[in-house]
C-alpha cells in the first residue's frame, strides 16, 4: 500500500490560498485594506523566512471568519474559488495527484492553511482527505480560534500520524510514502517519508534537496 501527501500552497497551487483569501476579503470590503495588506505581507514574509509565529498568524487569519455567518462565508468562498483558486490550478498539478489516486494510494493534502479555505480546494483535486489547521466552530459560527494542533512544521507530522491512527494505520503500514512540498517549513515531514519530493522549491529547500539527492520537479506549465 502507498501513501501520498501533498502540500497545497505554492505546491499544487501557483500561489497561496490563504494570501488570496485575504486579498479577496479586501476586494469585497470585508476587512480594512491598509491594515490587512500590511499584516498579510508581514506574516507571509515570516513564513518564507521560517520565522512565522503560527499562533499569532492564526489569530489574525481566523478573525474575519468569526464576524460573519457560515452561509455568508460559504457564498463568498464559491466566488473566491471561481475567481482566485481555479486560475492557480494547472494541469500538471492535477495530473500528479491523479497519478497517485489511480495507483490506489491513500492520499491527503496536508496544509497549514485552515480547512474552511482549503476544504473545497482539496475536493477540486478529487482528494478525500484534508489535514489542515482546524478553525473552531461552535453554535453555528466560527470562533476565530484554531482547534487542536495547527498543521505547520512538526505539527504536520503530529496531525498526519493522528489521522493515520484514526484509520488503523501507521508509517510502517505503507510500502512507500511520498510528500510533495515547495517549502523549507515542511522539512520535518519531508524527512519523515520514504520519498520526499521538492516541487518548485524555495531556495532553502532546493539547496537541501540537492544536497540530499531528493527529486526536484515542477508542476507549472
Catalytic residue among 9, 16, 18, 200: 9
Catalytic residue among 7, 16, 182, 200: 7
Is 9 one of the annotated active-site residues of the chain? yes
Is 7 one of the annotated active-site residues of the chain? yes
DSSP character for 4?
Answer: E
Q: Which residue has the cell 521560517?
A: 50
24 vs 39: CA distance, rounded Å: 15
Burial class (CB in 10 A: 0-12, 13-18, 19+), 195: middle
Closest CA to 12 of 111, 105, 116, 79: 111
Taken in order 10, 39, 143, 54, is the CA torsion positive or negative? positive
- Supply the residues annotated as catalytic: 7, 9
Amino acid at each position: 500500500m502507498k501513501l501520498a501527501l501533498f502540500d497545497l500552497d505554492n505546491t499544487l497551487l501557483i500561489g497561496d490560498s490563504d494570501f488570496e483569501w485575504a486579498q479577496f476579503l479586501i476586494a469585497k470590503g470585508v476587512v480594512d485594506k491598509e491594515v490587512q495588506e500590511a499584516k498579510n505581507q508581514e506574516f507571509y514574509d515570516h513564513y518564507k523566512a521560517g520565522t512565522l509565529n503560527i499562533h499569532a498568524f492564526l489569530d489574525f487569519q481566523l478573525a474575519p471568519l468569526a464576524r460573519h455567518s457560515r452561509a455568508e462565508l460559504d457564498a463568498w468562498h464559491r466566488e473566491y474559488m471561481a475567481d482566485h483558486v481555479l486560475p492557480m490550478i494547472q494541469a500538471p498539478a492535477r495530473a500528479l495527484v491523479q497519478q497517485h489516486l489511480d495507483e490506489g494510494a491513500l492520499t491527503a493534502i496536508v496544509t497549514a492553511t485552515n480547512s474552511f479555505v482549503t476544504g473545497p480546494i482539496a475536493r477540486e483535486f478529487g482528494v478525500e482527505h484534508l489535514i489542515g489547521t482546524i478553525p473552531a466552530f461552535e453554535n453555528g459560527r466560527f470562533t476565530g480560534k484554531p482547534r487542536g494542533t495547527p498543521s505547520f512544521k512538526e505539527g504536520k507530522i503530529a496531525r498526519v500520524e493522528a489521522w493515520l491512527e484514526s484509520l488503523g494505520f501507521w508509517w510502517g503500514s505503507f510500502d512507500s510514502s511520498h510528500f510533495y512540498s515547495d517549502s523549507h517549513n515542511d522539512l520535518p515531514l519531508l524527512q519523515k517519508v520514504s520519498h520526499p519530493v521538492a516541487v518548485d522549491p524555495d531556495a532553502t529547500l532546493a539547496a537541501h534537496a540537492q544536497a540530499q539527492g531528493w527529486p526536484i520537479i515542477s508542476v507549472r506549465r
